[in-house]
Structures are given as C-alpha cells and as structure tokens.
C-alpha cells in the first residue's frame, strides 16, 4: 500500500474538526459557536455531503471570512486520487487513498444516461476466494461508512454526472463490514446525500448467512446479490473457503427467508470456470438450487487473474447454462464485464497500477 501524503495530511488535520464526523445537530452547534446563523449549517452540510467538495474555497455561497475560519479549524476528510485509468469502453478505474495511507480501488461505468459505480467496502479481503485477485492479497482493513460513500462522490465529481446506481462489488466483503456498509448505503440513499433509489443500491456478499438475515430486516429496499459460483458443496468449499462454515443448505434456507420477508428478487453470481464449475453435473445442481425460488442468475465469464490456475469457460458453455436455467423457469443472463482492459472487472481489483 502506498502512503498518500500521509505526514502532510496528519499534520494538517491535527486538532481540527472533521466535518464528515458531525451530525446535523453538531453542524448547527459548530456554526452557532462561530457566531453564524443556523442556515449556514445547512449550506455547509450540502457542500460536504451532496456536492462533495474537497476545499472550503469551493463553498461559494459562504462569505470569504467564514471559509477562511472554517479552513483554520476544520477538515473535510475525503479521498485523494492517486491514479485513474481509462478503459476504451469509457469505464474509469481509480486508485484512491485515505488519511492513513491505505489505498483502495473503485470503478465508474457510464452508459447512455446512466453512471454506475462499483465501490469497495474493505481494503483487500479476508475471505480468500481462490479465483479472486482481491482474495489472494488478504485483508488490510475495513473502510468506514464515509470512506465507502466518498468513493462514489469522487466518481460523481470526476464524471460530472449524477450516479444512478452503486454496487458494492469492489474490494472486500460488505457483510464482514456490515455497519459501515449500511451507513454508506443510507447516505447514498438519503436526499441529503446522493439521493440514489434503494433498489439501485446493491450489496454483493459471498454468503455470510447471519448478515443476510439481518439485511432482510432492514427497512430500505436495497438489492442483494450473492456470489454462489457452485451449488455443489465440495466445489464451493474449495473455491470459497471463507464461507465453508455456511452450508449450501443453510444458504438456501436463508435466501428463502429473505425472499419471503422482502418479496425482492436476489441475484446469484456464478463465474464460469473451465473444468471446475461448468460441467453438466454442476449445471444440474445449480438448476435444483434455483428452481421454484425467486432469483436471477448472472452468469459471469471468469476474468483472468494473472498467475491464477483458473480460466474462463467457453462462451458457448455460458449460453448452455442460461438456456438450461431458463428451461426450468429460472431467469438468467450473461453479464458482460466492463473495463477488462484496465483490470477493472470483477475479481481483478488489487492495486496493480504500479
Ligand atoms: N465480496 C463480495 C463482493 C466483491 S466481489 C462477493 O464476493 O460477492 C464482486 C464479485 O466478483 C463477486 O461475485 C465475486 O465472486 C466476483 N469475482 C471475484 N473474482 C472474480 C473473477 N476472477 N472473475 C469474475 N468474477 C469474480
Ligand atoms: Fe472477498 Fe468477494 Fe473476492 Fe471472495 S470474491 S475474496 S469475498 S472480494
């Protein structure tokens, strides 16, 4: 991990109030103590959360003197862009740094009038999935809610466009960092944040069952995706050792409870890996797992990870999977990866900029 102006940042922030850590009430209090009227608090809150400015000078509707005293006593947190790579398909992959020098990646994917962001919830990941570039590197640390939210604001500001959807499919396991992930989702959803509809905010989990249950009880209509990758226990155990303790049977039951409770359709992600989970037997088990349940299956062509022994199955095989699933009444599509030329596709996110 590369330090990002760490000393400079730490020195500059010492003793100052981080505005991102304040509640609305604390904002009013702070401004009152500075002899300012209450509406200033609302204005500043908007700059911090909705507009995501990175300097007090950008708060153009505040008097210059107030901007100067804020700069003296407060900080704006936020992320620092270390690098950005642009794909031929318009996607941009960012390496972003936080105060302590930890870096993560996130991706912006534009299409028509939409802008989707793929955000990270942890720096690295401790789940150790065998086919995933992030998993092989291990966990550095979990991110805070602000650090997750700030990635999306950064992408929004860079494209200069409204973000229409966010998927927590970058680095890390969101349900191993549940509270921060939920905090970020709520702010992304809030009209005082980015105002993105809950259904357009998706969490992808490798299948941490107690958290799936918890998620099903949240009042918002957030979307859930579960990385399945095999409906055969021994195959899944080998591919995804981090969730070995949660059997497929328990996952099946938990997902049944989830759909009963929420009425929402979850997605199962299935990366086709040649010779591992693409056989007829695997397909039959997958059909059994999904048949008569509310779900959508995303067949993903495995993205090549350098040095890995796993390789993608043929395109024809992916089509076979979709056809067979459809024949038993299961909705399935093949998901096209974005940004493969810049290693921004699923499972390729690890700091490979340098
Ligand atoms: N930890 C969460 C979310 C981040 S991974 C999860 O596992 O669901 C985002 C998605 O990329 C998951 O579905 C994951 O299984 C998939 N993925 C990981 N490595 C991949 C690879 N090499 N090719 C294709 N998809 C991959
Ligand atoms: Fe972690 Fe998801 Fe990669 Fe598995 S696939 S190692 S859970 S990021």
* 206 alpha carbon – ligand 2 mean position (Å): 7
Domain boundaries, the chain: 6-75, 80-342
Tell me the pLDDT of the chain averaged across its residues: 90
If pLDDT is split at 50, 70 and 90, which confidence band does 1 have? very low
Q: Is the pLDDT of residue 344 over 80?
A: no
Residue 269 is among the residues annotated as catalytic for this protein: no
Homologous superfamily (CATH) for 80-342: Aldolase class I (3.20.20.70)
**Whole-number pLDDT of residue 75:** 85
Q: How confident is the model over 48-92, as pLDDT tens digits?
A: 888 878 789 999 999 999 999 999 999 887 788 999 999 999 999
CA 225 → CA 12, 174, 265, 274, distances in Å? 40, 11, 9, 23
Residue 207 CA, closest ligand 1 atom number: 8
Query: Residue with the nearest Cα to atom 8 of ligand 1?
Result: 205
Which residues lie with the beta carbon below 6 Å from any ligand 2 atom? 125, 127-129, 132, 134-135, 172-173, 206, 227
* 203 alpha carbon – ligand 2 mean position (Å): 13
Q: Is the pLDDT of residue 12 over 80?
A: no
Catalytic residue among 45, 99, 105, 269: 105
| pTM for the predicted model, two decimal places | 0.87
Q: Which residue has the tokens 């400079």?
A: 8
Q: How confident is the model over 30-46, as pLDDT tens digits?
A: 999 999 998 999 999 99
How far the first Cα of the chain sits from its last, in Å, is 11
* 260-276 average pLDDT score: 97
**Whole-number pLDDT of residue 343:** 66
* 248 alpha carbon – ligand 1 mean position (Å): 18
Query: Residue with the nearest Cα to atom 8 of ligand 2?
Result: 172
Closest ligand relative to 304 C-alpha: 1
Q: Which fold has domain 6-75?
A: DNA polymerase; domain 1 (1.10.150)
If pLDDT is split at 50, 70 and 90, which confidence band does 345 have? low
* 323-345 average pLDDT score: 83
Residue 204 CA, closest ligand 2 atom number: 2
Distance CA 36, CA 12 (A): 24
Distance CA 278, CA 320 (A): 10
Closest ligand relative to 313 C-alpha: 1
Higher pLDDT, residue 103 or 23: 103
Residue 348 CA, closest ligand 1 atom number: 22
Residue 105 is among the residues annotated as catalytic for this protein: yes
* 348 alpha carbon – ligand 1 mean position (Å): 9
Per-residue b/e over 234-247, b at no fewer than 16 CB within 10 Å? ebbeebbebbeebe
């Amino acid at each position: 991990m590369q330090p990002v102006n760490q000393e400079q940042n730490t020195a500059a922030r010492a003793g100052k109030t981080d505005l991102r850590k304040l509640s609305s009430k604390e904002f009013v209090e702070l401004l009152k103590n500075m002899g300012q009227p209450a509406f200033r608090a609302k204005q500043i809150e908007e700059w911090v959360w909705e507009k995501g400015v990175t300097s007090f000078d950008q708060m153009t509707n505040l008097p210059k003197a107030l901007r100067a005293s804020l700069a003296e006593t407060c900080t704006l947190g936020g992320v620092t862009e270390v690098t950005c790579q642009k794909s031929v398909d318009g996607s941009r992959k960012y390496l972003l740094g936080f105060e302590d020098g930890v870096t993560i990646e996130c991706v912006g994917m534009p299409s028509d009038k939409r802008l989707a962001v793929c955000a990270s919830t942890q720096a690295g990941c401790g789940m150790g999935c065998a086919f995933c570039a992030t998993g092989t590197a291990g966990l550095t640390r979990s991110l805070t809610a602000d650090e997750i939210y700030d990635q999306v604001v950064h992408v929004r500001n860079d494209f200069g466009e409204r973000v229409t959807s966010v998927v927590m499919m970058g680095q890390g396991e969101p349900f191993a960092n549940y509270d921060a992930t939920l905090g970020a989702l709520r702010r992304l959803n809030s009209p005082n944040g980015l105002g993105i509809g809950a259904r357009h905010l998706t969490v992808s989990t490798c299948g941490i069952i107690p958290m799936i249950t918890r998620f099903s009880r949240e009042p918002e209509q957030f979307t859930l995706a579960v990385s399945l990758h095999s409906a055969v226990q021994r195959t899944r155990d080998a591919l995804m050792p981090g969730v070995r303790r949660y059997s497929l049977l328990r996952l099946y039951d938990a997902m049944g409870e989830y759909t009963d409770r929420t009425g929402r359709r979850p997605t199962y992600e299935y990366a086709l890996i040649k010779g591992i989970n693409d056989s007829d037997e695997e397909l039959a088990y997958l059909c059994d797992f999904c048949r008569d349940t509310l779900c959508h299956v995303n067949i993903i062509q495995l993205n090549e990870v350098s040095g890995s022994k796993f390789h993608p199955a043929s395109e024809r095989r992916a089509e076979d999977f979709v056809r067979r699933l459809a024949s038993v009444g299961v909705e399935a599509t093949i998901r096209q990866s974005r940004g493969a030329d810049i290693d921004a596709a699923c499972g390729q996110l690890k700091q490979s900029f340098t």
